[in-house]
Amino acid sequence: MYQLEGLLYSDNSKVSIKIEDSVISKVETVDKFNDASSSKRYIAPALVDNQVNGYVGIEFSKPDLSTEDMLKIVRKHRENGVMTFMPTVITASFESLKRSFTNLAKTLDDTEVAYSVPGFHLEGPYISPEEGYRGAHSLKDIRKPDWEEFLKLNEAAGGKIMQVTLAPEVEGAVDFIKKCVANGIVVSLGHHNGSAEDIERAVDAGAKTVTHLGNGLANNINRFENPLWMQLADDRLMCSCILDGFHLRPEMAKVFYRAKTPNRMILTSDMTMLAGLPPGDYVWDGKEVELTEEGVIMLKGTKYFAGASLPLRTGVENMMRFTGCVLKEAIDMASINPAKLYGFDDRGEIAAGKRADLIVFELEEGKMRIVETILGNISR
């Protein structure tokens, strides 16, 4: 049995939490703490990140991805409060995608990896080929939805592809979405230039969320007809946002929050392999890039972003700063909201019977300083 005390993130009440056999056995409110320092410490569920491309110099699509590589990433995430994440593989050739999923699936034989990685996210290749919308996805590998191909990829992944990000306007998208939904796979709209009608049809077919709303979008868009309005307006759609402070302007985050409400927002890091490395110049994917001191990756010598590198808790901090929302809402967007979307019934909240994946942190001027992370199945 393990016990900890602190302020419950959702309502600031003083609580004592008991953990037995890796799960929370009891949450009770207390009048006062045994240890005075607990009065500054919040306890929240560990975070869930649905879009992670790599970390500490390791890309999930690297040809020889090993279990050791995965363990390094799992442990680095844990330090930062993330105990569930979905490795994400983006547009590439069939052979390359198949190899990536085969490698990823193999790492799940390790119980420590499997504990934190419930499944994978395939972002592309069935997205818009249009400049601006496709972002950094390789044009030559973008193609129309192909269910037979997807089945082969999912087989290589051991049936663990949990989310596909696709464009709703491309030929065959609606049929493909229906098949995903029938097979329990979450469909997310992203890197697309779909019309309001395309988006509505996709949602009718079962698409549930949007991948990094406001990104994967051209710089110049039509003020009447663009993918933003319908994705904001359709209350059936959730959305994920990269709130590293660079990928969206603060006022965009505020408008998205108001339109989608806290229940339909998910925070994601979308971090790339350069995350967790020291600032400086790198050659990444054949391109010269700079990882800045502030933590954004720029194409060297340009004003273009090449990727994200900040951990998910930065998104939680920025969400509060940009929108004025309370801690509970910001944490829920990075824990229970994604957990519900993917059907992770055992995590994302603090309640008896749930996995004891918890973070203990102090809030100093809006920054989360993680004091302790507790992982249900790891002995401490």
Binding site for Zn ion (CB under 5 A): 216
Other beta carbons less than 10 A from residue 11's beta carbon: 11
Q: How far is the CB of 242 from Zn ion (least distance, A)?
A: 9
Please report how close the Cβ of residue 190 comes to Zn ion at its closest, in angstroms: 6
Q: 6 or 216: whose CB is closer to Zn ion?
A: 216
Comparing CB distances to Zn ion, the nearer of 91 and 335 is 91
Smallest gap, in angstroms, from Cβ of residue 212 to Zn ion? 6
Nearer to Zn ion, 242 or 331 (CB): 242
Least Å from the CB of residue 137 to Zn ion: 7
Q: Which long-range contacts (CB under 8 A, 24 or more apart) does 18-25 make?
A: 19/356, 19/374, 19/376, 22/355, 22/356, 22/376, 22/377, 23/352, 23/353, 23/354, 23/355, 23/356, 23/376, 24/350, 24/351, 24/352, 24/353, 24/354, 24/355, 24/356, 25/1, 25/352
Name the residue nearer to Zn ion (CB basis): 118 or 216: 216
Q: How far is the CB of 237 from Zn ion (least distance, A)?
A: 17
Crossing angle between the packed helical segments 196-205 and 173-182, to the nearest 10 degrees? 30
CB of 294 to Zn ion, least distance (A): 20
Vertex 358: Cα angle to 354 and 363 (nearest 5): 140
At a CB cut-off of 8 Å and minimum separation 6, what does 343 contact?
184
Closest to Zn ion by CB, 51 vs 154, is: 51
Q: Which is nearer to Zn ion, 77 or 121 (CB)?
A: 121
By Cβ distance, which residue is nearest to Zn ion? Answer: 216
Q: Minimum Å distance from CB 258 to Zn ion?
A: 24
CB closer to Zn ion out of 83 and 153: 153
Residues 6+ apart with CB under 8 A from 355: 22, 23, 24, 346, 347, 376
Among residues 214 and 216, whose Cβ is nearest to Zn ion? 216
CB of 204 to Zn ion, least distance (A): 24
Name the residue nearer to Zn ion (CB basis): 216 or 348.
Answer: 216
Q: How far apart are CB 50 and Zn ion at their closest, in Å?
A: 12
* Residues 25, 2 contacting (CB under 8 angstroms): no
